[in-house]
Amino acid sequence: MKNTLKMIIAVLSLAAMLFAVSCGQKTTADTTGGTTAAEPQTSSDPGTTVPDTTEEPETEPVTETDPVPSELTDGVMVYYEDFSSYGDVEGKDGVISALGWRVLTVSEDGAPSDWTAELTLKDGALHVRNYSDDGSFKGSDGYALILDDAYMSRVEKYGTYTLQYDVTYGTALNHKRYLNFVTEYGGGSYNSYHFRVGGYGNNQIYANGNWFTYDAADEDDLFAAQKKTTEDRTTIAYKLLGRTEEPGDNYTDMFKDVTVTVRVIRGRERADILMKTADMEDFVRVSKYNEMGDAYGQEDELTGSAVCFKTGGAINGYVDNIAIWTGDGDMPADRTVTYVP
């Protein structure tokens, strides 16, 4: 009887083990062959991902294009700056940054000399300090690039254009000092008109370390560097102010605190200078390109097209209303810059 009972227990134990194994195999099959209805489907399961067949609408790429330059005619404003939009700005670096100009150096840009002047934007004008009255600071020439070759290239090819600006001188080391704007700048060469505080000027080309003069002495009354008024020759100081003193260090105040508008007309075989004070209604021509000048035929020496502001040594003062336009007429009434390089 006991033996029979043992056999029955053994049979039941074997059956239970077989049932457990059978259940384990079914569970494994359920978890590896697919998901049950109760399990959530996930997008990481490649067998259940539904492909997105929606097509993106085709769009043309948006690109910005530069304006197409139109054919140049007379009276197109190329550049205008009246310093009225900046407020007061102290310091050379802040002023240069605000204006978008660039100070040129001897080492990096091949400029004839390094910049020394302090700059300030004040009361809607560009103020320059390159000299101290007690003589403790005597600045030198400096060049700040306003418009580069690429910008001015079309204007140069067009031919004639006009540069105009207002200048007011303060104290200066001597009667030779000035502030001006040079054209056709190429580092080692440029075109320049130096209106000096002593009441005369030099209408010249600078090239290969030498100066060549456009106008000619003793040809007519349009020699800007005339330093003495005679019966048939007059100085700029006489033409504009009626003063007859000869320029010299005793007359560094000849044009001190006098606002003068300078107009430079440039072109092939043309370098004419007209000037007026604020009290004058019309411009007076003070210099004219002359075949007898030693600059005649020297334009080929000018290798650049850029425009720079130049500080002509130890002098204080301020400039305003810088304008460049095509042709040789009066400044356009609308001073909006429409020129496209």
pLDDT by residue for the chain (341 residues), tens only, comes to 444 434 444 444 544 444 444 444 443 333 333 333 344 443 334 444 445 555 555 666 656 666 778 899 999 999 999 999 999 999 999 999 999 999 999 999 999 999 999 999 999 999 999 999 888 999 999 999 999 999 999 999 999 999 999 999 999 999 999 999 999 999 999 999 999 999 999 999 999 899 999 999 999 999 999 999 999 999 999 999 999 999 888 888 899 999 999 999 999 899 999 999 999 999 999 999 999 999 998 888 899 999 999 999 999 999 999 999 999 999 999 999 999 99
pLDDT of residue 329: 96
Residue 27 φ then ψ, to 5°? -65, -45
Q: What is the pLDDT of residue 45?
A: 40
Q: Please give the torsion angle defined by the CA atoms of residues 127, 131, 136 and 138, in that order, rounded to the nearest 10 degrees.
A: 130
Place of tokens 């530069």: 66
Contacting residues for 273 by C-beta, under 8 A, at least 6 apart: 193, 201, 203, 224, 262, 263, 264, 265, 285, 286, 287, 288
Q: What is the DSSP letter of 138?
A: B
Q: What are phi and psi of 287, to 5 degrees?
A: -160, 150
* Residue 214, both tokens: 């456009």
| pTM of this structure | 0.80
108, 139 Cβ separation under 8 angstroms: no
Closest CA to 324 of 195, 101, 152: 152
Q: What pLDDT score was predicted for residue 304?
A: 94
Report the 10 Å Cβ neighbour count for 216: 19
Would you give the DSSP letter of residue 152? H
Indicate the fold that domain 81-326 takes in CATH. Jelly Rolls (2.60.120)
CA torsion angle for 305, 186, 127, 249 (degrees, to 10)? Answer: -120
3-class DSSP state for residue 42? coil
The runs of H, that is alpha helices, within the chain are 2-33, 92-99, 106-109, 149-158, 236-241
Which CA distances in Å does 27 have to 20, 31, 191, 207? Answer: 11, 7, 96, 97
